[in-house]
């Protein structure tokens, strides 16, 4: 135990905690939005158990990846359709593609639901059609999808399992503390739920981009990068992703302020007319 408490391991732990915080934002957003689909009385419990089970499975996933890193990173299929589709596919490629498509489908479906709802004030009851167990299952499943890139990044920093596990547990505690607050904010400011869904849509695109280079990065072989019709699938950088998120927030704030100003002017005009 004393061998673990070193300056190097403590430094790696701090770096991993920061990494988990940066990469965990989209995960926390998904948990906050998806938990509102459960029955109202069970939403808090859904978030709690969803995060607890997800963190436990993330530690198990970490152990498996550390143990089986070689077999998970090696491509099991290589496309050689010149001019159409080329590159390698490994386990991470499949996870990123499936997760990206699923998240984009969820976001588009919920945006469509919002557009079709007639009475937004009563929509909370309509959203609570999923069982608590189903929502917990979705949260756990998507947490594993989200955590795949963070686990791979963490292993690149250190291969000391206790340090990696400690970082995951600390990030899980942080999610437990913040989940209720984020959900309450979205419930009080429902216009930001639309913003959150568009952010999830971008997250889906990010995961699809990560799929393009998953095999090549894992094997350090650029020839295994996926190319479609001669064009490489380039992942979106984290800085670009967060810049897009900041722009979306800025647009929302400006649009909300402008809408309030227009509404106030209309009220004053109508009042003056009478």
pLDDT in tens, 181-191: 777 776 676 66
The dihedral region occupied by 30, where left means phi > 0, alpha psi between -120 and 50, and beta the remainder, is alpha
Quick one: pLDDT band at residue 149, thresholds 50, 70, 90?
Answer: low
Q: Residue ranges per domain, the chain?
A: 7-76+84-122+129-265
Question: Of the candidates 154, 156, 157, which has an alpha carbon nearest to the alpha carbon of residue 170?
Answer: 154
Side-chain-side CA neighbours of residue 178 (13 Å): 15
Beta bridge partners of residue 78, listed in sequence order: 88
Residue 146: pLDDT band with limits 50, 70, 90: low
Residue 156 has pLDDT above 70, yes or no: no
pTM for the complete prediction?
Answer: 0.62
Q: What pLDDT is attached to residue 122?
A: 47
- Confidence at residue 124, expressed as pLDDT on a 0 to 100 scale: 47
């Amino acid at each position: 135990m004393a061998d673990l408490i070193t300056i190097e391991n403590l430094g790696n732990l701090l770096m991993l905690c920061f990494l988990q915080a940066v990469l965990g934002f989209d995960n926390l957003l998904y948990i906050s939005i998806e938990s509102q689909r459960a029955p109202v009385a069970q939403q808090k419990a859904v978030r709690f158990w969803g995060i607890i089970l997800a963190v436990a499975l993330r530690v198990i996933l970490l152990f498996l990846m550390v143990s089986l890193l070689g077999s998970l990173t090696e491509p099991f299929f290589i496309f050689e359709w010149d001019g159409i589709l080329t590159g390698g596919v490994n386990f991470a490629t499949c996870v990123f593609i499936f997760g990206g498509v699923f998240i984009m489908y969820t976001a588009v479906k919920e945006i469509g639901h919002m557009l079709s709802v007639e009475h937004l004030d009563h929509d909370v009851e309509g959203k609570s059609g999923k069982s608590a167990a189903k929502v917990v299952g979705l949260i756990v499943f998507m947490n594993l999808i989200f955590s795949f890139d963070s686990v791979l990044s963490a292993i690149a920093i250190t291969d000391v399992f206790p340090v990696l596990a400690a970082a995951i547990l600390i990030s899980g505690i942080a999610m437990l503390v913040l989940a209720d607050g984020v959900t309450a904010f979205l419930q009080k400011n429902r216009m930001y739920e639309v913003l959150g869904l568009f952010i999830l849509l971008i997250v889906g695109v990010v995961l699809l981009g990560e799929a393009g280079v998953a095999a090549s990065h894992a094997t350090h072989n650029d020839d295994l990068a996926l190319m479609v019709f001669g064009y490489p699938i380039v992942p979106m950088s984290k800085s670009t992703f967060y810049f897009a998120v900041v722009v979306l927030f800025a647009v929302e704030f400006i649009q909300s302020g402008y809408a309030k100003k227009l509404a106030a002017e209309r009220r004053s005009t109508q009042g003056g007319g009478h």
